[in-house]
């Protein structure tokens, strides 16, 4: 069931002729990044980056570009409503319901809409992927993961590892982060392009973490 707020946003939304431009506008309306909610502006900008990554993978791998970009734009659309319900762990399920209603109201192709909704619903999965999970759906998840291990999130992680910590604490934090990054890098990916991008970004992250750890050991 959609929240009353989601239903109001859907009812008030004025559709644009370009599906990608419209999904971007609808995402902004749903996240509603007001001045006191910088986390929603971050989530919106993250979704734009994920969509750009999805577009690049689609072009490299011959996947359907427009629906994949739509799925990437919509993958976190349930974020604000899930937080309001204190159900962040269900943001992908809430987002899938919003995406389903939005695409139906937009009159988007039914078969492609089903793939988009499943891409949104399954984007949080890790190594336990359903047997029927398609390359399209996996690429939505991969595009999200690629941004999550990119420079912005790496900078955030490095800050958490060192902020007002002792050398011993920094070393422990870096070692834990390296282990997590290597586990993340080892997850199955849907395409060769996604595998290459994940590997490149995770290798850079591990290198920076190991450099921090080396400095912490010098004291």
Give residue-wise pLDDT tens across range 123-163. Answer: 999 988 999 999 999 999 999 999 999 999 999 999 999 99
Q: Which of 97, 101, 75 is nearest to 85 (CA)?
A: 97
C-alpha 173, offset from chain centre: 24
Residues 6+ apart with CB under 8 A from 64: 58, 112, 136
Residues 6+ apart with CB under 8 A from 32: 9, 40, 80
pLDDT given for residue 84 in this prediction: 80
pLDDT given for residue 87 in this prediction: 86
Give residue-wise pLDDT tens across range 71-106. Answer: 999 999 999 998 888 888 899 999 999 999 999 999
Mean pLDDT, range 54-75, rounded to an integer:
98
| Distance from C-alpha of 69 to C-alpha of 191, rounded to nearest angstrom | 16
User: Domain residue spans in the chain?
Assistant: 4-126, 149-217
| Distance from C-alpha of 113 to C-alpha of 180, rounded to nearest angstrom | 34
Above 80 in pLDDT, residue 109?
A: yes
């Amino acid at each position: 069931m959609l929240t009353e707020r989601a239903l109001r946003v859907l009812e008030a939304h004025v559709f644009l002729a370009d599906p990608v431009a419209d999904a971007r506008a609808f995402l902004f309306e749903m996240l509603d990044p007001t001045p006191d909610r910088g986390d929603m502006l971050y989530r919106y900008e993250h979704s734009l980056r994920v969509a750009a990554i999805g577009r690049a993978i689609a072009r490299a791998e011959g996947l359907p570009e427009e629906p994949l970009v739509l799925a990437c734009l919509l993958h976190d659309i349930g974020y604000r409503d899930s937080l309001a319900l204190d159900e962040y762990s269900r943001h992908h399920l809430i987002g899938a319901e919003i995406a389903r209603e939005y695409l139906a109201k937009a009159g988007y192709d039914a078969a492609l809409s089903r793939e988009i909704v499943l891409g949104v619903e399954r984007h949080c999965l890790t190594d336990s992927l359903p047997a029927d999970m398609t390359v399209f759906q996996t690429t939505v998840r991969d595009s999200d993961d690629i941004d999550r291990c990119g420079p912005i999130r790496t900078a955030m992680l490095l800050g958490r590892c060192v902020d007002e910590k002792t050398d011993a604490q920094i070393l422990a934090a870096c070692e834990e982060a390296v282990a997590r990054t290597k586990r993340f890098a080892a997850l199955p990916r849907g395409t060769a392009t996604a595998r290459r991008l994940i590997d490149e970004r995770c290798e850079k992250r591990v290198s920076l973490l190991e450099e921090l750890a080396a400095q912490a050991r010098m004291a």
